[in-house]
Each structure stands twice: as C-alpha cells, then as structure tokens.
Structure 1
Amino acid sequence: MGMLSGKVAMVTGAAAGIGRATALKFASEGARVSLSDIDEDGGDATASMIRERGGDALFVKGDVADPSDVAELVAKTVARFGRLDCACNNAGIEGKVVPLAEQPLENFERVIAVNLRGVFLCLQAEIRQMLKNGGGAIVNLASVAGLIGFPGLAPYVASKHGVNGLTKNAALEYSKLGIRVNSICPGGIDTRMLDSLAAQSTGGKLTTGELMNPLHPIGRIGTPEEVAELVVWLCSDRASFITGANIPIDGGFVAQ
C-alpha cells in the first residue's frame, strides 16, 4: 500500500522534468494519475511509462493559460476516475533572460499567463471539484525566484512570487473546508528549463553544472525525483498539518 492508494492525482506540465517525475511518483504511491501538457508526445510518453509500471494514467493535452482547457482537464479526470484528491500545478515557462527595461511586453504577458494565470485557473477548477469530494491537497510549483530576485528574469520572478501569494490565500480560504494548499520553491533542478536559463545567461559559455552547482551550498543542483518526493509527501496524510507554506527545496540556495 502506497501513501496515496485509492487517490486520484492530477499533474500539469507532465511531459518532462519535475512534472513527469511527480506523475511517476504519484503512481508509485498508488494514485491514479491525470496528466496535462501542451507537449502531446511527451505527455503520452509519461502516461505510457505509468501504465508499463502497472499504474493507471490519463493524458489530456491542454494549455493551463486557457480556461476551457483547464475545465476540460478536470472534467475528463473526474469522468475517468470519479474524483480528484491531489493536484500538482507544475506547468511553467522561463521566458527570456533580459534586463527589465528591455523585456518585450509579449514575453512578460506569456510568462504571467502560463506561470501565474495558469495556477490561478487550475486552483479554481481543482478547488471547486475538491469541495465536492470533501477535501484534497494541492501543491503549486513556485521557485526560489518566488522568494528572491534574479537579474534578467523579472517576468519569471514576478510570476513565481505571485504563485506563493496565491498559495497562501487559497490555504487561508479553504483549509477549514478540508483543502490544504502549499507551494514548493525549487532551486536549480536538472531540467530542460534550467539548461535554457544557463544557456541564455552565459551565451553557452558554461554548462548548466558549471554555472549552477557552485551556487548551491550542498554543491550540486537537484533532480526532478527529489522534488517529486516532496510534492507527493505534501499531498499525503503525512503532511496533514501543513498548509499555506512556501517551502524551499534548493540545496541551501536561499539560506545564503
């Protein structure tokens, strides 16, 4: 029996990286899993990996910035599995690394649309469904960029600070109704997004490891699987007294 046996979990941005690792971890702990991403091939691959390991998964292609896509995801999840108990709002983009005064408006608007509006829309749809179930647990993916600033990443930093704020508000409003809401704030994690940020920041002169490992007191960047462990634990009854928290998982990055 896993921590989430009999539960239904939903993960956005599940085609790769933290989203894929989280979906696999949910399934390994006994949950049936609904997946979403704009990358259909990657999402299908994640669902296939879960099924190959004996789990049950549904993939629904969609953009979290689109209200109709979010509504469809939750509706199809409930139609297939009957309920929604856990959700990980992971979908996000990094945008361009450019000083604030030079940031294109379209870049700012797209980053906010995916990273912040997307979490807002998912929270609304998830909470409405969880209220029908009698409760649930939600984890939003913020970032250490939701706790401190990063030169060149103003839209991303603004979006992730917003995610942490939404998390606190949702927790205050719904904890007494049985819904816990937390966010986690990863530092450098071995993903395609981090590779893109490293490449943009150094013009390709340094590898991701060369740039990011020294920034973490633990001496290395993290893995998607390490982040997935925290997400799934927060969705389990073992974290029953935790809500409204913005939790760093960063190898000591923000402790410096």
Structure 2
Amino acid sequence: MAELILSKLFSLKERVAVVTGGSGVLGGAMAKGLALAGARVVVLGRNEARAGAVVAEITAGGGESMAVVADVSDRSQLEIARDYIIQCWGEIDILVNMAGGNIPAATITADATIFDMPHAAFEEVVSLNLLGTLLPCQVFGQAMAEKNQPHGCIVNISSMSAIRVISRVVGYSAAKAGIDNFTRWLAVELAQKYGDGMRVNAIAPGFFIGEQNRDLLLNSDGSLTVRGQKIIEHTPAGRFGKSDELLSTLIWLCSSGASFVNGVVVPVDGGFSIYSGV
C-alpha cells in the first residue's frame, strides 16, 4: 500500500514537461530525470543537434521526448514552440526554466573594478537570465492557466549567488536574485487568480560542474583551481554536486506530492548556503 501511495504522489506519468536550456549538463539531467518519472519531455534550446542528443538518450531509455528549437529571449519563437507542443501533445503541465548563464564582460576580474564593467554586459546577463525566465513563464504559463481547470507547475532555477555574496559574478548574481523574487511574486499572482492548481517554485543549486564554470573550478588535470578550493572549503559536504542530485527535488516540486508547496526556493547545495566558514 505504501509503495502505491508513493508512486502516485511522485509519478509524472502522462504530464508534458518543457525544459528550457535542456541541452546543457544540468538541463539535460533534469530532462532525463523528468522522463524517468514518466513525463513526456520537450527539450527546448537554441541548438537543435544538442537538444536532439538529449532526446535520443531519453527515447533510448524508453521515454517520450522531442526537441524544439527556440530562443528564450524571443517571445514569438516561444509562442510558436508552445503552439506546436500543444498541437502534438495536447497540453503543457510543467515548465522548468533552466536556460541562463553568464558572460565574461559582466564578471569583475581581479585586476578590474565595478567601475570598469560596461552596463551593456550587465544588461545582457540580466536579460538572459531574468527575461529568459519571465518570457517562458508568460508564454507556457498562459497555456497552463487557460485550461478548463487551470493547473501547472513552474520551476525556476536560482543560484547560491542570489542569497550569498559571491565575488566577481555581479550581473549573474543580480539576475538570480531577481528570479528569487519573481518566483515568489508569480506564485502568489497565479494562485490568487487561477487557483491552487497553479504553482511556482525554484531550485537553487550549489556548485555543480558545467560547461560554463569548468575552467573556473577545475584545472586541466582535474585538480581544483584556487576558486574551486575556496568553494569546497565552504561546502560542508566537501565536494561539488552531481547533476542527478537535483532530480529528486525537481520531481518532488513537479509532482502532486508538493501540491501545497508554493513560492519556495529550495537549496540543493551540500550546505554551502548555511555555512559561515567558521
């Protein structure tokens, strides 16, 4: 009996999930995890070949998935993607906003100051992360809200830099802090206007190795850089996270097991966010 109850609580069978940035290391892991939980997964990204590779892994494992090419900063592309998904699979139930990133020009290096940073670089990173979360929420969230019985789950991706000061990454930090606030705001907005079937939460990953941060955290021989060593020293778990360690939190937030969880930002960080270093 207990196994049946757990299966029902955390199953995503027949639900349609859209993962923006689903072709990256963490996005791909999330897409594959949702598929393992039973969801039909749309891997949405700008690079068709990379998105297709994730889809191929999902389908090889018996899951159902398709790649859709769209830029999260382009509303018209997202609307075309939304309409195509609904035409193919009937509805959209889950949105995971994994797309985002940083650029060197919005990062303050050791030999520079905040006064040197071009405002256009700051604007670009904030747009990529914050606007790149807002637009999918508007486009795909509307499809959830306009059902006969509105329901859907949005999971945004925050960061440790939203809650702790992490040197250098000024544009990225500001954008992720905005995502935290927007997550809470949107959770209230949708629940009040469309009912308790609409939920918005976020995950704040700690330090995981991906394409963008690998060279910052690891040397070519796999040893830690100075920055990587500092992070490990401030992570009680004593290591970086593994991509599949995000999956249980993601599946929980997307499932009926979290039906009364709304507007939270869940750290998955090995204790980084709670440790003072003393």
Q: Same fold (TM over 0.5)?
A: yes
Distance 1:205 1:56, change over 3 A: closer
2:116 aligned partner: 102
Q: Structure 1: how far apart are the matches of 2:216 and 2:74?
A: 25
Can you give the 5+ residue segments of structure 1 that lack an aligned partner in the other structure? none
Counterparts of 1:164-203 in structure 2, within 5 Å, are 164-176=180-192, 177=195, 178-198=197-217
1:65 aligned partner: 73
Distance 1:123 1:229, change over 3 A: same
Amino acid in the other structure paired with 2:154:
I
1:125 aligned partner: 139
Q: Secondary structure at the match of 1:192?
A: coil
2:101 aligned partner: 93
Q: Structure 2: how far apart are the matches of 1:23 and 1:60?
A: 13
1:151 aligned partner: 167
Q: Is the 8 A contact 1:171 1:181 kept in 2?
A: yes
Match for residue 128 of structure 2 among 109, 114, 129: 114
Match for residue 244 of structure 2 among 220, 225, 231: 225
Q: Is the 8 A contact 1:100 1:152 kept in 2?
A: no
Q: Is the 8 A contact 1:191 1:224 kept in 2?
A: no
Shift of 1:181: 0.2
2:29 aligned partner: 21
Distance 1:225 1:39, change over 3 A: same
Q: Secondary structure at the match of 2:123?
A: helix
- Structure 1 moving runs of 4+ over 6 Å: none
Q: Structure 1: how far apart are the matches of 2:17 and 2:169?
A: 31
Shift of 1:108: 1.2
Q: Is the 8 A contact 1:195 1:208 kept in 2?
A: no
Show CA shifts across 1:116-154 (max 9, x none).
001000111122100123211110001011112222111
Distance 1:240 1:205, change over 3 A: closer
Q: Structure 2: how far apart are the matches of 1:207 and 1:21?
A: 27
Show CA shifts across 1:95-124 (max 9, x none).
223143222233212211110001000111
Give the alignment's TM-score, normalised by structure 2. Answer: 0.85
Q: Is the 8 A contact 1:58 1:77 kept in 2?
A: no
Larger Rg: 2
Shift of 1:78: 1.1
Q: CA RMSD in A?
A: 2.0
Q: Secondary structure at the match of 1:9?
A: strand
2:3 aligned partner: none
Q: Is the 8 A contact 2:216 2:228 kept in 1?
A: no
Q: Percent identity?
A: 31
Q: Is the 8 A contact 1:181 1:244 kept in 2?
A: yes
Match for residue 152 of structure 2 among 136, 139, 162: 136
Shift of 1:209: 5.1
Can you give the 5+ residue segments of structure 2 that lack an aligned partner in the other structure? 1-6
Match for residue 240 of structure 1 among 243, 254, 259: 259
